Amino acid sequence: MTFTYDVQKRKANRISYRILGSIFMLISALQVVTLFKALSRHPMLTMIFAVMLFSYGLYLFAMSFRRQAYNITYKFSEDGMLVKHRYGETMYSFDDIEFITMVIPDDSLIYYILNIKAGRDIYTIPFTNKKEFCEKIYDFVNERIKHDEDDVIYLKNKNDEEKEL
């Protein structure tokens, strides 16, 4: 059994983050220029503000190039999870996946979210109007990953409670 899911990202969002990050870095540079020309009344506060603003701008700019800022295709099969992204493909076996969680904000809402931690990477997969598909993928992956002993006890207790009801 194989599940394939595409997550489409907008190019305009990446461009917006890059422009906003560049603006923050430019404002920070202008603050440093005023600091060196001795036009600032509070040089230490100006420097702290400039460093924080530059750091945030650099963060926004750099994050616009991350893997999850581009279109991603997730393929779940018996071998594991294959992630096709702009920079290539990454294959994770079920032993590499540490945990999977399904976020259900409210039954009346139309979206669900899967969070998957595999190695150092954390993937957040949004599902809009696809509740059944999200639950199928969650069940498929959750059955195949390793669970800690505490998790197994919790799952057994949860099943026992459901049986009592």
User: Mean pLDDT, to the nearest integer, of 115-124?
Assistant: 89
Are 79 and 153 contained in the same domain?
A: yes
DSSP character for 117? E
CB 28 within 8 A of CB 57: yes
Q: Which of 20, 36, 65 is the last residue of a domain?
A: 65
Are 85 and 112 contained in the same domain?
A: yes
Number of domains the chain contains: 2
User: Mean pLDDT, to the nearest integer, of 41-50?
Assistant: 89
Does residue 142 form part of some domain? yes
Does residue 1 form part of some domain? no
Q: Which of 4-18, 124-138, 139-153 has the lowest mean pLDDT?
A: 139-153
- The pLDDT value given to residue 131: 83
- The pLDDT value given to residue 144: 86
What distance in Å separates the CA atoms of residue 136 and residue 132, rounded to the nearest whole number?
6
Are 58 and 76 contained in the same domain?
A: no
Are 42 and 108 contained in the same domain?
A: no
pLDDT in tens, 70-108: 999 999 999 889 999 998 999 998 888 888 998 877 777
Quickly list DSSP for 50-106: HHHHHHHHHHHHHHTTSGGGS-EEEEEETTEEEEEETTEEEEE-TTTEEEEEEE---
- The 3-state DSSP class for residue 7 equals strand
Higher confidence at residue 160 or residue 46? Answer: 46
